[in-house]
Structure 1
């Protein structure tokens, strides 16, 4: 424990360095802004700014991207509470009680409760990271290529079968991402694979181009007809309006704790997105409430619980990403890709090999969350006014920065065509109700899975039994098999009952379609 506190103190020294603090502030500022604007999520922002990290030191680069991620969670609650506008799916459930509180004249109180819940939940998530790190350090040297392959295989299966929609569609998208990761030159043999005699593909597809296409251009193509200005009404709030009373804090404390617990548990599980987490936290509050009929009419706990769940999950998400190399969702896959661009291999040994990145990142979470409170309290009115920016200016501007960003990585026009191609592919897939997040998961993890698989077979002289003979590897293989059996059994039972083949996540996310309709009506 004392060693963890010493390492955390070292992390604060890294995070408070001038350059690192500046980029952390820039990240949370951009994330907060992006969170307010409908359709412009953390994925789009990180995709656009990813080329910027090429010329940056690894520490400020990761601090900036992380700041965008958790900063967007704060911004998304503003539109949900004040305007009944769920800018992003995780905040759709916040509308159910947040907006009724606004109509009762308690919008400022709801935002104040949101900030307190968010900071508390983020702090708990950070502490989980701090005290889990010694255990991860101890087991770091027990991981060889066999164990790394097995745990990444579990990450791929979890990400594909637990994503939104049919598990079969998720697996298909993961396989497509794996195929994209195979394009280029084989590391061992030097042969070209899937390059179709195109010289520009000899080095493989670019992570930046795929990310910008799937999450930037695809979003623009799907929302190109949304050009009206959002009416913000009267959203003038004073600082004192955001100060909850003792009674309101009493109503929020236990939902906040339960939501934090839900987010912490789901944050450690790869493949579970923040939307699932917030809906489950809200459903739990209604289930245990003595007056469940009041939910949806303006209940403090209906705001505190899902927002706490969202923020605790956001912090804990970094545990499997940084320490095991398993991204929990598409945003984590992009951050994982940014580490690999910098030549840093995520995994159990990252803590010991790059302590400045790991502990600096943990310390920056507290600093960034404090900065978000300072930013949001006086500037909520400004953020809401930004919703009046016409989409006919917003999206073309984003497209311009996407084109400039991807061209600046290698000064190659071919990569702009890659962005356009994946933008069209992404738009078609999303329109057909496919989740594109598993594509990024497969693309980022695919080469690492292949490399460790081949290395393990070389060490075992081609004996596949090595993957089940080693205890750690065998455990992860067993979990992967149980996951596949569970998903298959669930799908079989659904078909037997005459229901469509959907995952549990799809049932939980059904309410998100209501949020989408609200966005369309508002815009």
Structure 2
């Protein structure tokens, strides 16, 4: 119970403040939970590990939840995971039931968030105990499987694979470390780049650039923004009552479970979780024709699933060292700043941090509920904040944060700007940012495991014959690719 000593007033204040800021980011169309975490990541350098993680987890929970506000009020998903919330939330708002719709979403979000946190608490240590027994071969195949899952569930599998491999390639820029089986020489760069890229691109400026600066550039590139009415207000021709959840317990548990499970699959994201749970509810609904016209059960399915993502995405991060989504990929930066490495040994060696993270998640969900349920009439006004005021402030935070992360290295600012522009161009030409980022984070580890496997056994057959676990992972990799091919062919037939 030593972790209780870390639960200071500052710890709870930062968790609450992070949740509030996350809600604001999520509620403003075009801004996401990932962007909120990326922009605020440098702040954790000035706090201790527990306080910094409390802030970031609050941002994560608040950012995912805040997306429901514009989804209901404006028919604009505040975050990708709130896409299906628009299907029934906006029709309810048009009927004069906006307050009722918002409160249904808020309670469903609370249930999904708490459910996924409990699954994380009980399941992640078990998975970590299994992963500790993995050899270099199994560790490499786990990363390979993660990259195939990401690629197979992208809109275009080939572009997804290319994006992931491009991320791996970028991670290898720099000195080929002798401890990794290398020769200590520079690689994948021109001679004039050697003074700047001796250790490769710094992780944190890359993350902030891809998720912060690129989003600002994308918003600035639009010739006009969607018109927003200045008289946004709540309507409640039909008052909210808890009886709306009567008969929806199966929907809540099923949708939260789907969100948690999808969160465990690397790089898929909340939009897939909410769409899958919404579709499943429509298939079993007694009134499927009502879904999409203002049905509460559609809101319950959508919001419990996308908040279920929060705990689910942390499971592979903390037990295997593989980010579950783009936001947890950014969270790796917080551990890096504190000198910690996530993976199979993390929970066992950092029990205090593990327990304080669980408390932060539960507390952030409680704060999210209290803020949004009882102050929703003020929060809906957030969508009116002009971006020409907001974005310069965010850009300043990005630049200052990138410069300060490594004690004032100017090249980190250039890295921030380079990857900001690159991220914007990549999305314009169809590249997938999630597999690229996860490839960048896992690339060096994949190289080490690959080289060490060959050094230990001397031939490529070891990747197929090392153990039953390796054979099972190859089966999963094959199923992942086969599923992608099946979906691709099915989509072509539908479009034809």
Provide the C-alpha distance between the structure 2 equivalents of 1:226 and 1:60, rounded to a whole number of angstroms: 39
Q: After superposition, what is the alpha-carbon deviation per residue over 1:149-205, rounded to whole angstroms, capped at 9, x for unaligned?
A: 121111122122223x20100111111111110011122132112231211111211
- Tell me the equivalent position of 2:473: 476
How does 1:441-452 map onto structure 2 within 5 Å?
A: 441-452=438-449
1:372 aligns with 2:368: yes
Judged with a 3 Å threshold, the aligned counterparts in structure 2 of structure 1 residues 341 and 459 are, in CA distance, closer, same or farther, namely farther
Q: Within 2, Cα distance between the matches of 1:258 and 1:178?
A: 36
Contact 1:256/1:305 (8 A) holds in 2: yes
Matched, 1:64 2:55: yes
Residues 36 and 63 in structure 2, CA contact (< 8 A), matched pair in contact too:
no
Unmatched tracts of structure 2, length 5 or more: none
Summarize the Cα distance change of 1:432–1:346 in structure 2 as closer, same or farther, 3 Å threshold.
same
Q: What residue ranges of structure 1 are gaps of 5+ in the alignment?
A: 1-8, 501-523
CA pair 182-114 structure 1, distance change in 2 beyond 3 A:
same
Q: 1:436 is matched with which residue: 408, 433, 437?
A: 433
1:33-432 matches, cutoff 5 A:
33-163=24-154, 165-188=155-178, 189-197=183-191, 198=193, 199-224=195-220, 225-226=223-224, 230-236=228-234, 244-250=240-246, 252-410=248-406, 411-432=408-429
Deviations along 1:35-85, one digit per CA (max 9) or x if unpaired, are 111111112122212222334333222222222112112111112123323
Secondary structure in 2 aligned to 1:86?
A: coil
- C-alpha deviation, 1:407, in angstroms: 1.4
How much does 1:489 deviate? 5.0
TM-score by length of 2: 0.91
SS in 1 for 2:303: helix
Q: CA deviation at 1:221?
A: 2.0
Is the CA contact 1:15–1:361 (under 8 Å) kept in the aligned structure 2?
Answer: no
CA contact under 8 A between 1:15 and 1:21: conserved in structure 2?
no
Report the TM-score, using the length of structure 1 for normalisation.
0.86
Q: 1:121 to 1:397 in 2, by over 3 A?
A: same
Instruction: Give CA deviations for 1:420-445 in whole Å, capped at 9, x if unaligned.
Output: 22222221221123221111111101
Q: Report the secondary structure of 2:84's partner residue.
A: helix
Q: How many residues align?
A: 487
Provide the C-alpha distance between the structure 2 equivalents of 1:61 and 1:250, rounded to a whole number of angstroms: 39
Task: Quickly say closer, same or farther: Cα 1:291–1:463, change in 2 above 3 A.
Answer: closer
Residues in 2 aligned to 1:450 and 1:271: alpha-carbon distance in whole angstroms: 20
Judged with a 3 Å threshold, the aligned counterparts in structure 2 of structure 1 residues 284 and 408 are, in CA distance, closer, same or farther, namely same
In the superposition, relative to structure 1, how do residues 344 and 281 fare at CA in structure 2: closer, same or farther (>3 Å)? Answer: same
- Find runs of 4+ consecutive structure 1 residues off by over 6 angstroms: none
